[in-house]
Amino acid sequence: MSQRMSNVPLIGKPVERVDGRLKVTGGARYAAEFKHTGMTYGALVMSTIANGRIKGIDSKDAERAPGVLAVITHLNAPRLRFPERRVGMDPRLVDDHVAPLVGQSLPVLQGPTIYFNSQPVAVVVAETLEQAEYATTLVKVTYGEEKPITSVEAEMARAFPPQEGLGKDPQTGRQPDRAADVVRGDPQALSKAEVVVDETYTIPIEHHNPMELLSTIAEWKGGKLTVHDKTQWVPNVQGYLAIVFGLPEEDVHVISPFVGGAFGSSLRPWSHPVVAAMAARVVKRPVKLVVTRKQMFSSHGHRPYTVQRVALGAGKDGRLTAIVHEGYAQTSLYEENTENLVNVGRMLYASPNCITKYRLVRGNVQTPLYMRAPGECSGVFALDSAMDELAYKLKIDPLELRIRNHADSDPYSGLPWSSKSLLECYKQGAEKFGWARRTIEPRSMRDGHYLIGWGMSTGTYPTWRAPSSARARIFSDGTAVVQSSASDMGPGTWTTMKIIGAEALAMDLSQVRSELGDSTLPKAAVHGGSMTTASVGSAVYEAGLAARAKLLALVNTDSRSPLRGTSAEQVDFANGRIFLKTDPSRGETYSDILRRNRLESIEATVDSKPGAESEKFSMHAFAAHFVEVRVDSELGVLRVSRTVSACGGGRIINEQTARSQISGAVVGGLGMALTEETVMDHRMGRIVNSSLAEYHVPVNADIPKIEAFFVQERDDKVNPLGAKGIGEVGYVGVASAVANAVFHATGKRVRKLPITLDKLL
């Protein structure tokens, strides 16, 4: 059928959040806010060592405490099945609900082994939260302790290539995205370069620290499990719990309508939903388990500690002749967590020769996890810091150096870009920032006793699309609903689903609503990786078109309809009507059609899947970030005073929430650059700043004027909407832009984040 829309397009216009009023008035209910009759409360007991075994647990005093219903440990917990993946496993035996592709999910409360400090070793269930928390202090645990391994630098000699990245796909012959080693061109090119920069860059562990804590309410009824859970992937929690408890998926109902921030921390089910469901089964009542802020530092993953070497070789004209990008990342003892750490070295800048190496280092830590812009933001910090160092060595403007090394096609895959507006991002961003007024020498720009620094960096993030399903239903009263089990942790999925649904259905925005966050709805892709709009949005769009096609099929054979016998090419849709293109007065409303046929509604459910586009094109979003810093020349106090970010993100669905996404990403990038660091006491393997008082996330006083805008970009190849993800690309490159601005202001190159006062004095 014709996909032409004759009504005023909704996509691309600024639209206020449809869930905004609920959130500011307290009407939005998060996972821990649902009410259940007979609710009980769980509280976790965490290990006090990082490596060893539990020798004994004395829970008698806790069991006798007021209100306590159960104390569950590995000694009395139900035996559960935790998913495991191994390289070479028959694909038919591999569970789809494991985040890392190699290893076993933490078998919580199943044995005495301690893998990391603050690992759950018991859960107390009581009538009230206060009773449960008090009883945890009465549980006495004795350990056989061994020396923990938590330092990446101390263990780099034992680093190993990730199993996921070894070898080539036997069917396609292609290297995996996270290949352990990639060599393109002459491996000796660096030694032949006229100019070389060769440095090491370090990024510490960082934690997501969303406002909403990890939380689950679990209830069993007749062998079926219902959970309210904070998650970025509702079907994944459903499937995971079904595997662990040996249930059919349809017997697990997961509800997660609102998520109070996550940034990747809730991409996979951690221990808390399993423990809550386990406890609810034991006490035979609903159990609410909310992880404390302190426990958040070990109850889910984190951005992994990474050490990267970047070596760049270039001619005196600034053209790159060699790129070497090596990365070492920490993982846990029981899983391999990998991310796209060195991928940017292969594709961001043109170079005939490139070597990348990726290695993992095991340690007594919780399995790391994707944190906003995983891999790419860490990799670009190293790569674009090195590019800045090369620019100064060559005495070439840093922006000009990047333009000279612009990649007109993907250097890694050899594929053409589906679209790329990076040069335009450079141009428009530089104009808005005033880059032409920058003087090149460090410490050459001042405002009184403040040193002024201007720095910039490139941002990029892959454009992903995963299989997703959606339903569109049109009602006889002239309204409609679009549905998917997608999550919304804040970027505006509630709103974008409504916008896309209204445009696809050719209805007024006020007549369409969206529903999400429930496993009984059509399955959605993960709410992460900047792929929700591309995946779920495409499904919603296609479901809307399918529902319209069903309406047209109704009238096509209806002798009472003025449109009987018309083809899809002859009609158009607008404002909830079908009408002839040649005579718009000849038509009828959706309501008229349904009522005449005595139908309450008509619906279509669509399974939307990516095609072969990723085999034909390299698909990425791009950005250019410009940053100004002010550094007190006497005290070394550093402040970011303004930022400008120009982004090419394909078709922008909602300009208002899209700008908010970029602004929020910049804030995260500033935190990465200036304040965020999880500090580990390596003697005990213990995190010593596990609170918001000591783990410093950016606050309002830290945030400057942020200007974010989008370069117009049309891309018909990435998905039916032409939308690229923007949640991550606004983050990638911010930290390196800040570091580069700090060098311009002070002449001091900081290669280990965060850039704190002690590194500037």
Mean pLDDT of 448-477: 97
Return the H-helix or E-strand segment holding 241.
helix 234-245
pLDDT reported for residue 164: 73
pLDDT reported for residue 6: 40
Nearest to 381 by CA among 759, 90, 734, 135: 734
Considering the candidates 219, 503, 588, 728, report the single residue annotated as catalytic: 728
pLDDT reported for residue 175: 64
Provide the residue count of the chain: 761
Report CA Rg, the chain.
Answer: 27
pLDDT reported for residue 86: 61
* CA separation for the pair 110, 172 (Å, rounded): 40
Question: Does residue 589 have a pLDDT over 60?
Answer: yes
Confidence of residue 172 (pLDDT cuts 50, 70, 90): very low
712 CB burial (10 A radius; 0-12, 13-18, 19+): exposed
pLDDT reported for residue 242: 94
pLDDT over 90 percentage in the chain = 92
Question: Does residue 205 have a pLDDT over 60?
Answer: yes
- Bridge partners of residue 137, in order along the sequence: none
Question: Does residue 294 have a pLDDT over 70?
Answer: yes
Provide the mean pLDDT of the chain: 94
* Token duo for residue 301: 């993953």
Q: What is the distance, to the nearest Å, from the Cα of residue 212 to the centroid of all Cα atoms in its chain?
A: 16
Mean pLDDT of 686-708: 96
Mean pLDDT of 500-527: 97
Confidence of residue 11 (pLDDT cuts 50, 70, 90): confident
Mean pLDDT of 121-149: 98
pLDDT over 70 percentage in the chain = 95
Mean pLDDT of 362-385: 97
| 588 assigned to active site | no
Question: Does residue 48 have a pLDDT over 50?
Answer: yes
222 CB burial (10 A radius; 0-12, 13-18, 19+): exposed
The one-letter amino acid at 92: R
Does residue 754 have a cis bond before it (omega within 30 degrees)?
yes
First-to-last CA distance in the chain? Answer: 67
pLDDT reported for residue 12: 85
- Bridge partners of residue 405, in order along the sequence: none
Domains of the chain: 20-28+466-609 (3.30.365.10), 34-147+208-299 (3.90.1170.50), 163-205+302-464+615-759 (3.30.365.10)
Question: Does residue 604 have a pLDDT over 90?
Answer: yes
Tell me the per-residue pLDDT of 223-278, one tens digit each, with 9 for 90 and over: 999 999 999 999 999 999 999 999 999 999 999 999 999 999 999 999 999 999 99
Tell me the per-residue pLDDT of 75-88, one tens digit each, with 9 for 90 and over: 999 999 998 876 55
Neighbours of 349 (CB within 10 A): 23
pLDDT reported for residue 93: 44
Question: Does residue 173 have a pLDDT over 60?
Answer: no
Confidence of residue 10 (pLDDT cuts 50, 70, 90): confident
Confidence of residue 96 (pLDDT cuts 50, 70, 90): low
* CA separation for the pair 119, 294 (Å, rounded): 12
